[in-house]
Amino acid sequence: MIRIVGVDLPKNKRIEISLTYIYGIGKSRAIEILEQLNINRNIKTNKLNDEEIVLIRQILSNNYQVEGDLKRIQSMNIKRLMTIGSYKGKRHQLGLPLRGQNTRTNARTKRGIKKTMAGKKKAPRK
């Protein structure tokens, strides 16, 4: 199993797909990285030789922010929004959608599932 940036990549998938298991790398960025290194993107992950793995590690560490660094930057941006008291920051604090989505009928995952009949008693057992 190949380990890049702290992530175990699946063995029997194409390298193009297995690079997307790294947080911060999507399909287009994975293709871009493989084109820079002239690696066939249809090759399986376990067929890569050690030189290619080292090159992928070097490109990821030098040119891209992935995994922990990217998550840290995102959380710092959200904390900044909360401290300055912006609308988006307040929505983050309340745990509500922040991009103008409807919350009256949708947003169940953010608001939680509400019971429709609050005080209804169950029928007694016979």
Q: Which tens digit of pLDDT belongs to each residue from 20-46? A: 999 999 999 999 999 999 999 899 999
Interatomic CA distance for residues 39 and 54, integer angstroms = 13
The pTM of this model reads 0.74
Q: Which tens digit of pLDDT belongs to each residue from 59-97? A: 999 999 998 899 999 999 999 999 999 999 999 998 888
Taking the alpha carbons of 79, 82, 87, 93 in that order, is the dihedral positive or negative?
positive
Given pLDDT bands bounded at 50, 70 and 90, which one contains residue 118?
low
Task: Show the domains of the chain with their CATH numbers.
Answer: 2-64 (1.10.8.50), 68-99 (no CATH)
